[in-house]
Amino acid sequence: MVTGGSRGLGAAMVRAYAARGADVVIASRKGDACEALAKEIRAETGRRALAIACHVGRWSDCDALADAAYAEFGRVDVLVNNAGMSPLYPSVDQVSEELFDKVVGVNLKGPFRLSARIGARMKQDGRGSIINVSSIAAVTPSQIEVPYAAAKAGLNNLTVSLARVFAPEVRVNCIMPGPFLTEISKSWPPGMFERMKDGIPLQRGGQAEEVVGAALYFASDASSYTTGAILKIDGGTAHAPA
């Protein structure tokens, strides 16, 4: 199951899992985009693909998503909490309560609820892997993403906490991406691409497919002795420890 799975990093992970024999649940707020990718997955890989519209900031949507996945497949082996959002705002004193709650809801509240529901079931079933997708904003926040950075820092903490809660049956790990050239990069402020050459040792943003190796590692038995880990994939951008 991949939330935020219809585009960007989420879609790259969905394609990678299906290509290697997994049936997939694709969830995002846009049900039609999920179904379009599910149709592509079925045609290209022959795997089962379930598309579900879900706003992870709402517990009722998270519960419905979990129920639908178990009704269709009987189990969830891997949960990827990838859905995220970071709306722009003019200044921190103009962040509305609605915007703050929405950002925390999608980036932290939803992953908590889905992990609590599905992680408990995984533990009961005897195995599973939960993969959170954070951001280097959690450790190197900027002035333009304060609520987002705080929520992602909470997600890093949640990773370590739930790794202890669900051990030893379930592993909980986190991918912490830096700047990736997905659709979200279209809304970056002017000059962002030029500044990358100075601020990123690899002098570029990442491509969505470059998250796949980590997603496969955490999902597979290759990471059987890894839990509570936070893996930075950022071209060397962030210097602070996770």
Tokens for 214? 């980590």
Per DSSP (E only), the strands in the chain are 2-3, 24-28, 49-53, 78-81, 128-133, 170-177, 230-233
Q: Judge whether 67 and 113 are in contact, CB under 8 Å.
A: no
Per DSSP (E only), the strands in 168-207 are 170-177
Cα separation, 141 vs 122, whole angstroms: 33
How big is the chain, counted in residues?
242
For residue 148, indicate whether it is catalytic.
yes
Q: Catalytic pick from 17, 89, 148, 225?
A: 148
Q: Judge whether 1 and 25 are in contact, CB under 8 Å.
A: yes
Gyration radius of the chain over CA positions:
17
DSSP label of 22: -
Residues annotated as catalytic are: 148
